[in-house]
Each structure stands twice: as structure tokens, then as C-alpha cells.
Structure 1
């Protein structure tokens, strides 16, 4: 799925491995060793894009990340008000 995003020009993606719980319980998941309440492995994908690219990103994720599981995930879209480089504190110009 990340490859399909890269092919469309979305090269900067962050993936975070985690565990979660919710209405869907993965029948193959083992109890977490770290948290007593989590039971399903998960991956969080973070990507920043321009407003006009949101539809393309959503379509790519839905097409390539879909599984046969009832809980494939949720896509959240939020506004980025400001961004700064950690190296020098300079603002990034979000146009």
C-alpha cells in the first residue's frame, strides 16, 4: 500500500506499529504483553498532503489497504495549521 502511495508521488509517510482494542476482536490475536486491554495489532499511517490531494490519498488507501477483516481501520483528515523544522525551528510554508 505504501508503494502505491509512493508511485503517486506521496513519498513522505510515517508508519507506527501498535496495538489496539475496539468493537472488532481479532480472533487470531494474542493478549498483549505490554497492555492488559489491547488485543489486536495495528499500524498507523501518517501522511501530510495538500487539500486537493486528500481524495486521491483516501482512494489509494481504501483500494490497497482493504482486507477481509471487518475492521480495516479509519481514515482521519485534519488540518495542519503550522509546521516547523526541528533542526532549526524554521517554519515550513504550507501552500
Structure 2
């Protein structure tokens, strides 16, 4: 079954969007207010499936910013995607 079609993902996605005020976090960095349409795994799902529904690993993004986070052909994080990965720290690694 496709993870993105599960009830658990849909509920988690809604919680993240609500937490972020339905605004794109990347646009907000630059003072722009754009509606978030998707929720992005900061640490990619394929690399860390154990973090797939962890709230700290998810951010709300508009479609444009989401497309800038990783190469759509090979799913490798871009420089911007790496920026967000470095910004977000798993709770067990925080000081």
C-alpha cells in the first residue's frame, strides 16, 4: 500500500499543516505568505523510514518550494533540502 494514502499519513499531514498555520515555511523565511499545499520529509523517507510520521521531521511547503527541496528524477536533496535537513535535529541528538 502507498504510504501517502494511509489514514495515519493523512492525519499526520493535517496536524503538520495546522501546526504551521497552513503556511509555507520556506516562503516565511523571506517574509512571504504562501499557502502550504504539501508536507515535506526533511530527512527523506527512503533514508529514514522510521521518522516517516515524526512531527519534528515534517514541514509545510508550497508546491514551488517543495519542488526545490529535491531532484524529482533521483530524489536526492538539493542544497536547499540539505539546508533544512541541517536545521532540523532529531530529538535524541539535541543538547
TM-score under structure 1 length normalisation: 0.27
Report which of the two has the higher share of helix.
Answer: 2
Choose 1 or 2 for highest CA Rg: 1
TM-score under structure 2 length normalisation: 0.27
